[in-house]
Structure 1
Amino acid sequence: TFAPITPEPQKPDPVFGLKFTIEARHGGTVPVDLTTLDPRPLAIAFADALRRSAALGGSIGAATVIQQYVQIYRRFFAWLNHDAPGVVGVSDLRAVHIDGFARTLERGGMHPTFHHRVVSIIVNTLRAIDANRPDWIAPDLHGRLRYILTTSKGRSIPRDAYSPFVARALRDAARADVEAIFRRLSAEDRTEDKPAIARARAKVEALIARDGAVVATGPEVRHLYYMRERHGMPSSGLMDDLHGRYHLLAPDLPPLLVLLTLDTGLEPECLKALTVDCLANARSGTVELRYLKRRARGAEHKSMRVRDGGSATPGGLIRRLIDVTSAARKHLPGDCLWTYHQDGGLRTGILVSKYHFASWVARHNIVDDEGKPLNLWLSRLRKTHKALWYTKTEGHMARFAVGHSREVAARHYADLPSLRSLHEATVADAFREVVAATRSIVLVPAAEQALREAPEQAAPLMPTDTVGPLLDGEQDVWLAACTGFYSSPYADTGSPCAQPFWGCLDCPNAVITARKLPAILAFLTFVEEQRRGLPASDWAAKFGHVHARITAQVLPAFSDAVVANARQQMASERLYLPPEARG
């Protein structure tokens, strides 16, 4: 009852020679031209491996990675032609060829990270060939394909963040341009002074509204050029002017990307891959931003909460972009957020070059911290967003590590050269707090009088009723008054203090007043006399710290008159040092 099944004839290989096109899963179409590679049999094997690796289910999914493979192939084949001319096909390759190519890269001064990446592309290609045709791979090369390099690829050097000064300049310039873009797209119809030019322009704009774009060689556009030239009107930038009222233009992308990156901190590759359905679950002035991160193997689909409202918020800006790009999206396949006019046609996806970013920076005269023209990198903008958020959260890792583990956030986004001064200042402040917490309290005569008049000021340190006896000398030890001889931080509570008497100079229980200066000066005289009789290392170990404490911190707190009066008392009174000073 069924017709006999006739097997379909096998389709010919779509790869003809070494020139073909790959439809990448991410990034669009990539034309591949390997016709200049020699030897040809080896080049055909590499081309076939590249095509299979970039197919559905293969290890290569991004257009940029395919382009990297092609560039490394050219470098590897150039090395083979120079250093291994006997290699014709895959079966002629040996382990020494992989190692020789790696040594050449290393001698050229290539950074270990890039060195590892370049060699891995060649090894991965040969692994793909081995998986398809294992009989082509020599035994020693088969063993060599088990690893990339015997040396470590090292730690990559993270890009630094821009300073807050540069970030503010970029944000202000981008926000001004974005507002101008939306005003341009929402402007009413432009009126021309000349009726003939207005009619010609109306015909062209009708075609743009219908077809999405026009080319400069079309009859209607040529007629408009002719009419403007006839009336002595300039035509420079006319195509951008015509399409700019309906679509985004390529020069509009740098400020949009800069502003969104600074506001969200999204990775550049994730930002470029946003789709029109990236916003969801709006609530309480925020919205969920969904994006694709291809590098996160097994967890590519991610989301973050961003502010939502007017165009000054990330959510509001993306909503405006979805609205203004809807007209261009009717004429383009896919759901990519980024649709715009460039080079006489509508484009989808971010295809702008470094030139557009440099031109935008130059137009706004944005400079770096040294006053030089800024070299703008989107990846550094992400670091800038992270650095600003790190400063705002005061380094609190639980709040700072959004979208990353704490270890990754600390290594890649907190350990930046631009944040080094902040870290050093924080460490210095911590040391100062520790030292201050262990110091004795120095009361100059004015402060002592104020404490007598208002004893409640000492409440955090001691009971109010003990202030008077302490200041009157009833709780004196040798160099200070002690607020708690039996509650020393250096002994168990209830036990007497076991520190040497000069330990009071670093004890938080000690209160040093002008009344104790004669004893302190007498001890200072003794310490300086000991310098003459002890080796320098022994003297520094025993008395170096206390000497610095007296001369640099205690005595400078008192006026010269108070210190001079204390010296007179020391000379007139016979002050004896405790026996432990000579122990």
Structure 2
Amino acid sequence: MARDLADHEEVAALPPAAVLQFWLSSDYYTERYSRIILNGWRESGGHLHPSIVDHLDGRNVNQKPRQSNSLRPYSDQEWRQLVRSCTTTIAAARKTHRETLEAATQGQAPIASWLLDNGPASNRVIQENISGIWREGPRLTAIRSALYPDNDVVFAYTMLLALRSGIVSDGIKTLTVGNYTRTGPHTAMLRYYKGRTAEEALNLPRAAVRVLDQWLEHSRPLREHAGTLTESMWIYASQQEGIRTTSLNGHQRTRWANLHDLRADDGTPLTVDFRRIRATYHNRRDRSAWTGRATIDPNHSARIEGDHYLSHHTPAEQAALETVILDAQSDIRRKAEPPVIVTHDDAKQFAAEFPRLAQEAELNVDVIRRILTGEQDVFVAACASPLNSPYAPAGTLCPARPWVCLLCPLATFTPRHLTALLRLKEFFSRQAAQMTMQQFITVFGPYADRLDNDVLPKFDVRLIDAAGRLLATTPMTIEESQ
């Protein structure tokens, strides 16, 4: 900042233009630090130009760059490892928990009974209250871990819930028992918080409901001794620190991966990342209904559908389908053609300026004469072939509405049609006032656009004015003309 603004010897004399130019030529972090310096100068009593002060109180010129890299989902093999590590740990812990709890309630295991009544005490406290077990420290630890879940078991439950529901880690670790609401025998709703948003709610999949039901059953004995932590969802027993809540920190995730020897596809240690778990969950859910082939009925093979549904057409059916496709393509092409405007009542000049119309519509001199003399006039145009309309079968008189002529390739617009075209413009205005914008655009939009931008601008302004004066003396609505 001092180097770029060296031409100005005093901070108080800095012109706003120089400061703004410096910010525009720098990045977000340079601007941020320079703002800190200038704000410190101002807060310590230094003088700054009022415009610079306004800039300091406003938003930054440079916005902070957004660093968002999409997370790569776990592969199927990696995903199976994560699921297996959780399910095997939980299954073994639940089995020993049920056996120890049953022995404790029946009085068959004095140590387990004492722990069930008094809570997860340390080995030293247990030895002080039960005689004859001074050298049974490992056994005491095993009984306490079987009766009350330790941190590894809690981590297995939290990760399995993420695997089954796709909830982010900060939403899982702050859960309380009150956030979990059963809505049916196999359904439940979970309210949780995301760090970037407010509270969210999720109808849990059945597999996630089962995970939480198993955990609440597994942690019930520990919850009876948890005191103020009773409502916390994820609690565990620690020998040194008593009952605590899990944190899902990086050390736990690394320890878990090493404990279960989790490996990536390339053989390196697999990193347990709850963000990647969420990304993989949604990726797998999107692919869960995909069978690998585009079939109409999942009970059919691709070959069966190809033989019986895609290629089974008689020659007549094939010709009919091709005719429908050809007609649709021709209709689209006709609508894209510019309108035919005749501004002079001269047959020779008309034939010279518009050979395309004569060629495509197969017009001869007699037909051109009838067009120019008005023998084949409809309401807003002269029709080259009323019995060969694209909107009706051949040989049938065209049934189309007057405004449809604006997009018809058989229509020819001449100065004598200006009065009718202006009446049509008034009709569009009345319809626009009575309909919503969406309705008007859907029904009349293409025709109104063709009239305003392609047809009327081709005529001389004096002819349009004369037609407008004539229209004022002989008013008639489109509805009356029909």
TM-score range, shorter chain: 0.3 to 0.5
Bigger Cα Rg:
2
User: Structure with the greater relative contact order (CA < 8 A, sep ≥ 6): 1 or 2?
Assistant: 2
**TM-score if structure 2 supplies the norm length?**
0.48
